[in-house]
């Protein structure tokens, strides 16, 4: 009887470790993904069970995984259109940029050497009041003869000193020359349709203008009022600064206005917390359009304009009206007044485009018009320069 052969340990191990036949991946899939043994890896935790041998590509629309694999195969085989280049990579592709007329970042870069005539002479807008003598010519020997043209000017002072009358008289004279002018009101109603017995602002403006120009009502209406545009922006009507800007731009661009009076700048923002910021934005726009703008402002009890130093820094020119007490006989004699009297003076605090008179000017209200003019008692040591 033949002896039964006991298998050796090595043979047993060989039998256990014999390789299991691996499923053959279809030829079409070999270019899609790296080859991996499929037999020794549990598939149930990775992906849904799917038959690999007889896979038919057109019939896989219902299986998301197969649809993704099909799409990958087509992309690698060139079956789809080329991938779209990431927009962030476009500047590095070397392709010529599209010419659409947009200067891009160069739009805000200016090279003065390539400009035309750079040096200009400041001109003045004549208003017929003390405001005409506060700014000087470049050589400081003559008065400019008007407020600086194209500038935004702050005129501040206590109430009842003639600020509004002075600027309205100037507005009428500019309009009489045939220039469209704008009057922005923010403090009171302009015109009362009903006969309420009030001498409203419209009536006062016409009377001031008639006195300043010497015209009768009919002629004044024809020669002056035809060129006057009034913009109502009263805060009591719920108007905001943004509302004002929208209407202001519409008016000046539609009517080609180049001279504006605002009474008052502070009231365009009832909070009075952003006066300087508002003036800065307004000034920049006025520069672009060539608008000469006089902003009437208020002052605090301390004598500083509402908006403080920020406002005085922002405006192109600042004219400040103050009340001065003649506290000694020497001072009274110097200013042509009486001891302990109070007089009104106006000072050109600054002008960015011109030199200014380096000392105050004593002012008074002109009889008949109420506009501010130079007082006869102006000290000889503080002479008023004549226009060139």
91-104 per-position pLDDT tens digit = 555 555 556 677 78
Pick from 17-26, 196-205, 269-278, 312-321: least confident: 17-26
Taking CA atoms, 220 is separated from 86, 93, 192, 214, 351, in Å, by 68, 69, 20, 9, 33
Give mean pLDDT, residues 38-58.
47
In a domain, 193, yes or no: yes
**In terms of residue numbers, what domain contains 264?**
151-327
Give mean pLDDT, residues 273-300.
88
In a domain, 140, yes or no: no
In a domain, 42, yes or no: no
What pLDDT score does 81 carry? 54
**pLDDT tier, 33 (very low <50, low <70, confident <90, very high otherwise):** very low
Question: Is pLDDT of 295 > 80?
Answer: yes
Burial of 29 (0-12, 13-18, 19+ CB in 10 A): middle
Query: Greater confidence, 314 or 143?
Result: 143
**pLDDT tier, 249 (very low <50, low <70, confident <90, very high otherwise):** very high
Quick one: what percent of the chain has pLDDT higher than 70?
Answer: 74
In a domain, 19, yes or no: no
Burial of 374 (0-12, 13-18, 19+ CB in 10 A): middle
Question: Is pLDDT of 30 > 50?
Answer: no
**pLDDT tier, 270 (very low <50, low <70, confident <90, very high otherwise):** low
What pLDDT score does 76 carry? 66
What pLDDT score does 69 carry? 75
What pLDDT score does 77 carry? 59
**pLDDT tier, 85 (very low <50, low <70, confident <90, very high otherwise):** low
- Give the chain's domain count: 1
Question: Is pLDDT of 25 > 60?
Answer: no
Give mean pLDDT, residues 188-217.
90
What pLDDT score does 241 carry? 82
Provide the whole-model pTM: 0.71
**pLDDT tier, 177 (very low <50, low <70, confident <90, very high otherwise):** very high
Pick from 37-41, 200-204, 239-243, 310-314: least confident: 37-41
Question: Is pLDDT of 1 > 50?
Answer: no
Residues 341, 332: Cα–Cα separation, whole Å: 8
The mean pLDDT of the chain is 81
**pLDDT tier, 167 (very low <50, low <70, confident <90, very high otherwise):** very high
CATH number, domain with residue 190: 3.40.50.300
In a domain, 337, yes or no: no
Give mean pLDDT, residues 358-383.
95
In a domain, 272, yes or no: yes
Which residues are 263's β-sheet partners? 185, 296
Residues 180, 166: Cα–Cα separation, whole Å: 18
CA dihedral 337, 341, 344, 347 (to 10 degrees): 70
**pLDDT tier, 50 (very low <50, low <70, confident <90, very high otherwise):** very low
User: 365 — alpha (psi -120 to 50), left (phi > 0) or beta?
Assistant: beta
In a domain, 317, yes or no: yes
Question: Is pLDDT of 14 > 70?
Answer: no
181 and 175 Cβ atoms separated by less than 8 Å: yes
Residue 108 CB neighbour total at 10 angstroms: 7
In a domain, 208, yes or no: yes
What pLDDT score does 330 carry? 95
């Amino acid at each position: 009887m033949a002896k039964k052969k006991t298998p050796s340990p090595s043979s047993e191990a060989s039998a256990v470790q014999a390789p299991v036949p691996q499923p053959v991946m279809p030829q079409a899939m070999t270019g899609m993904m790296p080859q991996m043994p499929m037999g020794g890896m549990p598939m149930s935790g990775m992906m849904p069970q799917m038959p690999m041998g007889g896979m038919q590509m057109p019939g896989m629309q219902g299986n998301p995984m197969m649809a993704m694999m099909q799409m990958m195969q087509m992309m690698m085989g060139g079956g789809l259109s080329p991938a779209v280049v990431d927009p962030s990579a476009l500047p590095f592709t070397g392709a010529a940029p599209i010419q659409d007329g947009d200067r891009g970042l160069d739009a805000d870069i200016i090279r003065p050497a390539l400009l035309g005539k750079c040096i200009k002479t400041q001109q003045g807008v004549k208003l017929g009041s003390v405001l005409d003598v506060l700014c000087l010519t470049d050589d400081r020997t003559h008065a400019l003869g008007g407020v600086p043209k194209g500038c935004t000017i702050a005129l501040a002072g206590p109430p009842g000193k003639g600020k509004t009358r002075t600027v309205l008289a100037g507005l009428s004279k500019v309009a009489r020359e045939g220039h469209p002018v704008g009057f922005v009101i923010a403090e009171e109603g302009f015109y009362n349709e009903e006969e309420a017995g009030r001498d409203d602002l419209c009536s006062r403006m016409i009377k001031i203008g008639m006195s300043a120009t010497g015209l009768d009502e009919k002629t004044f209406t024809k020669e002056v009022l035809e060129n006057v545009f009034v913009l109502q922006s009263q805060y009591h009507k719920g108007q905001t600064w943004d509302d004002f800007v929208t209407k202001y731009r519409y008016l000046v661009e539609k009517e080609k206005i180049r001279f504006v009076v605002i009474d008052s700048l502070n009231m365009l923002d009832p909070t009075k917390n952003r006066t300087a910021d508002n003036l800065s934005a307004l000034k920049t726009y006025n520069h672009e359009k060539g608008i000469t703008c006089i902003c009437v402002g208020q002052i605090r009890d301390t004598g500083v304009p509402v908006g403080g130093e920020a406002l005085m820094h922002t405006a192109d020119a600042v004219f400040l009206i103050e009340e001065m007490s003649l506290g000694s006989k020497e001072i009274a004699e110097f200013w042509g007044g009486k001891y302990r009297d109070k007089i009104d003076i106006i000072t050109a605090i600054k002008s960015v485009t011109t030199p200014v008179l380096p000392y105050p000017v004593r002012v008074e209200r002109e009889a008949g018009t109420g506009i501010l003019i130079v007082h006869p008692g102006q000290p000889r040591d503080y002479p008023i320069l004549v226009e060139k």
